[in-house]
Structure formats: structure tokens, C-alpha cells
Amino acid sequence: MSDLGFASACQLAQMIRDRTLSSVELLDAYLAQIAQHNGQLNAICTLNEEKARARAQEADEALIKGENWGALHGVPITIKDFFETAGLRTTAGYLPLKNYVPDQDATVVARLRAAGAILIGKTNPSDVNGTYQGINDIFPRVNNPWNVDYTTGGSSSGCAAAIAAGLSALDVGSDIAGSIRQPAHFCGIYGLKPTDRRVSLAGHILEVPGQPACIRQMLVPGPLARSVEDLRLCFELIAGPDPRQPDVPPVPAEPAEHRPLSELRIAWADDFRVPVAADIQKTLRTAIDELVTAGARVNNWAPAAFDWAAAQALYNQIAIYTFRYAQPLTPTAIGKSMRVLWRELTQGDPALRQLVNPLQAFKEFSSLSLRGYYEALTERDRFIAQLDQALAAWDAWLVPVAATPAFTHRADWSAIDIDGRSYPHSAANGAYTMPFNLTGHPAVVIPVGQTQTSLPIGLQIVGKRWREMELLAIAQQIDQVVGRFQRPPGY
């Protein structure tokens, strides 16, 4: 594929507005890329070619008439298959929804369409219960464009593969335990997990249609892209209050004041949860050195009083409460959960198993109570306030995304070897992401380098709640110094 399909969504939208590129031409380029590469990646699970082509033709005709649909006029995008799309199959990787066709768009989909975006297809997720690999019971597994023997991460698996491989200009995923950030890290792209409840979840499937809205904490939609600029554009379009989800507050997405790196207070830490792979540690420390050379003030710091183990246990407890009623409790679902629990309790270094121990959460499952749920939410409030206070002294906090780069495909929730040590699956993948779902703080991932075996490495930039625009402005400056998006070889 030419460089055209790897341009940013912002650049492509401008080219279409300037009429140096037609929407049909761009759509054809992406369809050709999909035809060439999706067979080995399985990133796109449902293609919307016929309707996308008709819409692209309408977009070009509209510009001739002087009409502008919005910031993404005529730009082809993809959407994680957890988001309902009117008239287009939406499965969430959940077998009972294999043939489900919604009659209404999810709010984020409707807002992107209203801005002129053209939906080219749905991207292949992990199953509805969420895993750190692109595996579900409907579609073939998602493979990493950097090496198809490796996973993309999950659950926004196809989103990350599609963006990295140039199959789409922009995608929207969702994140409850790192499901945007970890795939961005594994595939060498950019991702944003906004503040909890900053973006409407209306029309997002984790609860099976017809079930009550159980998952009201820790889950948030967000963009995946090839630039910070595109993260900002997409966030501005999808964020904000929604009559379909009244608890999304009307926080304005106002432009952030530009501040040079030398004026920012930046903290960093690379081992405050679990030891990270040597390649990741080396790459992140090189990035820190480059930032310091560029004039940034960076200090090694982690909040000493924050009990990360207790926070992890609380995350597990709330997850049990929220997921319990999101889908019917079938024998198949119970069997999957028991396999996950067994692998988490028995695989990996015994000391590391204690860091993300799900046994207490399993005990909670057998004694769910309304009082216990309220007590967990009250405890969550305490952790949020504590991290708010700790981060008040900093403009951004730089931390790893995961303890490992992308790993080879394996049985779900199996242990992962890192530098000669065996890590439980959750510890390797979620130790640096789950805490910020618990507290709701926003985080951006940017690509900053590669391992010795040419697998991408990302950096997680954590900011203050409700201040995504400020966080994105800081991420943009950091990216200009250390960001290194690269096309995977052969794409």
C-alpha cells in the first residue's frame, strides 16, 4: 500500500476537503489493503463494503455541492464489534449474538457518522467477557501485523491490528482492564482511555441486549489511531453528555494551553507493580533520557501510600459484581470462568500470583450482596481521592503499559514467560492498566520503540481525571521527542 493509507485521519480529512483526494479513492485504497492482508490478520470481522462505497460517493458529491458533513467528511473508519451499528451485524464475540443486527447505532458510532465518517467494517474483538488475546467463539483469532504468531492483545484486538496494518484510518475500542492500551502497546500504535464516564457507553455490548445496565464503573470507550492528533480529534467528537446515559457529565473538551516541556512536572516509574521485561525497561529509560535531553523535568516517583495490592483486589471484587448480571450464567460461561480462575491460581511464579490474586473475588461471587457492592464502591471512592491527591503535584505520570511485549498465541489466561520468569496472565498484562480503570484516570499510550525481536513497545502517560485535552497536549509534546510509529514490514 502507498503511504496514503497510513496518513493520519486529520490529514486525510483535509485532503478530501481540499479535493486533492476523493473519498471513493481513499475507500478503494483501504479495501485493497483489506483484501490483501485481512485474510492473515482477521482484524475486520464484518465488512461493510457496499454501504461504505455508496456513502463515499455521496460524500464526494456533497463536496461538489459545497456541503461539509463534519471533521471526518468522507474518511473510512472501523469500529470494535462491541458497539451496535444499525443494520450491520454486531456480535461482541459472543456466540448467541452471532447473527444480531441492531436497529440503532451506539452513541459513539452515531457521533462519528454525524461528523462524516464512513464505516468500512467492524473489528474483531476478544469475546464479550474480555481477554488479553483476540480470541472469541465466532471468528478466527486476531494476529499481530508485526508477527502473526503473536497476539495483538485484547479485547480491542482487531482495532489495533487494523490501524497498525493500514486497514482503516481510525477505530474506537473500549477499555475495562487495559483493552485499548495493551493492544496499542502490542501493535505499536496510539490509544486513549478517557476518564471513567467521560464517553457514553450507550449501545456498547458487555451486557447482552435485554440485560440491565450492570457495568457502570471502570469501562470507557476511546480511540485507537496512528497519531496523537487523531486521538484528540476522535475524543472531541465522541465525548460529552448523552440522553441515553444520563450519568455522563457535561465536561467541556476545551483546548489545552500550550506549555513547553521545560515547564511540565513529569513523573515516571517502571517497576512499582511487577518487574517489566528487560527490553521494555531499557526502551522506557532511553525515552526518559531523551526527554530530559530535550529539556523536560522528569523525576522517578510512585505514590508511596497507595496500596496497589488492595486496589487490585478491589478491582477484582467490583468486576465480579458488575459482570455477574451482564450475561446469562450458562454452563459454558461458568466453565470458562473456572478455567481462568484455575490458571490464574496455579500458573506462574507463586510470589507474582499474590499480586493479582483472584481467589478473594471468586469467594465474593458466592456471597454477593447489595451491601457488599456499596461497600466496594465506597472503597473505590477512597482510592480515587487518594490518587487524585497524589497526582496533583504532577502534570503527567509515565509508566509501562504491561510487563511484557506481545506474546505468542496460547491457551487463554495461560502464564507468560518474561526474562526467564513465569508470570500469571493478569500480572503480566493488567498490573499497569487495571489500577487506572479502578480510579478512572485517563491514560494515553504512544509507541516509543521495539524489542530486540522487533516487537513494539508503548509508553503509558497517565493524567488527571476530566483533563483529557491537557493530557493529550502533553502526550503530543512527549511524542514529538520519543514517539516512533512505524508501519509493520510488508504493509
Instruction: Classify the C-alpha dihedral 43-46-50-55 as positive or negative.
Output: negative
Write the CATH number for 193.
3.90.1300.10
* Count of domains forming the chain: 1
Whether residue 389 is contained in a domain is answered as no
Host domain of residue 166: 1-267+278-290+396-410+431-491
Would you say the C-alpha torsion 161, 81, 155, 173 has a positive or negative sign?
positive
pLDDT confidence band for 399 (50 / 70 / 90): very high
User: What pLDDT score does 357 carry?
Assistant: 67
Q: What is the pLDDT of residue 116?
A: 98
Torsion of Cα atoms, 406 then 409 then 410 then 411, to 10°: 110
Confirm whether 90 is domain-assigned. Answer: yes
Handedness of CA 305, 306, 308, 312 (dihedral sign): positive
- Residue tagged 523535568 (cell numbers): 297
375, part of any domain: no
Q: Give yes or no for residue 251 having a pLDDT over 80.
A: yes
pTM of the model: 0.97
- Provide the CA 419 distance to its chain's centre, in angstroms: 26
Give a yes or no: residue 324 inside a domain: no
Q: Is the distance from CB of 434 to CB of 440 less than 8 angstroms?
A: no
Percent of the chain with pLDDT over 90: 80
Per-residue pLDDT band at 453 (split at 50, 70, 90): very high
Burial 54-65 (b: 16+ CB within 10 A, else e): ebbeebbebbee
Catalytic positions are 80, 155, 179
Looking at residue 320, its pLDDT comes to 85
Model confidence at 152, pLDDT cuts 50, 70, 90, reads very high
**What is residue 364's predicted lDDT score, i.e. its pLDDT?**
66
Percent of the chain with pLDDT over 70: 96
Take residue 287 and report the three cell numbers written for it: 525515552
Would you state the pLDDT for residue 349?
84
Whether residue 17 is contained in a domain is answered as yes
In a domain, 253, yes or no: yes
Q: Cell numbers 467528537 correspond to what residue?
A: 237
Assess whether the previous peptide bond of 155 is cis (omega < 30° from 0): yes
Q: Is 308 domain-assigned?
A: no
Residue 371 lies in a domain: no
**pLDDT over 70 at 334, yes or no:** no
Ordered DSSP codes for 68-91: ---TTTT-EEEEETTB-BTTB---
Instruction: Tell me the backbone φ, ψ of residue 187, rounded to 5 degrees.
Output: -110, 0
Per-chain mean pLDDT for the chain: 93
Rounded-to-integer distance, Cα 443 and Cα 181, Å? 8
The stretch 350-369 carries a mean pLDDT of 72
- In which band, very low, low, confident or very high, does the pLDDT at 1 lie, cut at 50, 70 and 90? low
Q: How far is CA 482 from the centre of its chain?
A: 21
Q: How far apart (Å, rounded) are the C-alpha atoms in residues 289 and 137?
A: 44
The mean pLDDT of 153-175, rounded to a whole number, is: 98
